[in-house]
Amino acid sequence: ILNVEQSPQSLHVQEGDSTNFTCSFPSSNFYALHWYRWETAKSPEALFVMTLNGDEKKKGRISATLNTKEGYSYLYIKGSQPEDSATYLCAFYPTSGTYKYIFGTGTRLKVLA
Amino acid sequence: NAGVTQTPKFRVLKTGQSMTLLCAQDMNHEYMYWYRQDPGMGLRLIHYSVGEGTTAKGEVPDGYNVSRLKKQNFLLGLESAAPSQTSVYFCASRPDRVNEKLFFGSGTQLSVL
């Protein structure tokens, strides 16, 4: 059974703080790792799709790194703003050819003004 | 540019009733997915389709059926609803290239009494 774990489950930070979360996934049969941002009462929106070991992606104040050999990805938010409050999901896509994504349970971020 | 549209957005059923959830995408995507989201459990795959006329079981398929008669539509049916099927249902789609992100619908909140 393939398992994807995210930590922490939730956190509160002050406006202006930088923060990071972790997504752990199987280090074998890796094909891609996705990050999604999910605001309350909305649908998940893609942040990054990462495929190569050592990949680093950036979108504004949000960036992500990928280590496929040890099976983890970090998502960083620099200078958190209240509008960054959301649940951040990662999804692992294996090479097994089943076309299925395995989602973590997410990290719920609350940025306090 | 509608993207992925789910109908209905909300529904209340009595135990034993049946209903169909519709997912429609206008992006000519090959792959379509139905997920359910329950507190503390993340997104769990119910059924998916890799193209028109195809369907396959996901992680939690029991009690659900699906059909993909047209490429743009993916229907999720509950033949005899049970309280355990109370959940928020999300549809997602993506093109035929695995490095592409998933596009999600806005969700259907279903309560079974």
Task: Report the DSSP pairing between strands A10-14 and A102-103.
Answer: unpaired
Higher pLDDT: B10 or A96? It is B10
Q: Is the pLDDT of residue B25 over 90?
A: yes
Q: Cβ contacts (< 8 Å) between A33 and chain B: which residues?
A: none
**Does the distance separating the beta carbons of B98 and A89 come in below 8 Å?**
no
What residue ranges in A1-79 does DSSP mark as E strands? 5-7, 10-14, 19-24, 30-38, 45-50, 56-59, 62-67, 72-77
Chain A within 8 Å of B31 (Cβ-Cβ)?
yes
Place of tokens 């299925």: A100
Residues B42, A105: C-beta atoms closer than 8 Å: yes
Residue-level pLDDT, tens digit, chain A, 113 residues: 678 999 999 999 999 999 999 999 998 889 999 999 999 888 999 999 999 999 999 999 999 999 999 999 999 999 999 999 999 999 999 887 678 899 999 999 999 99
pLDDT value for A28: 87
Distances (CA, A) of B94 to A40, A66, A100, B10: 22, 22, 12, 24
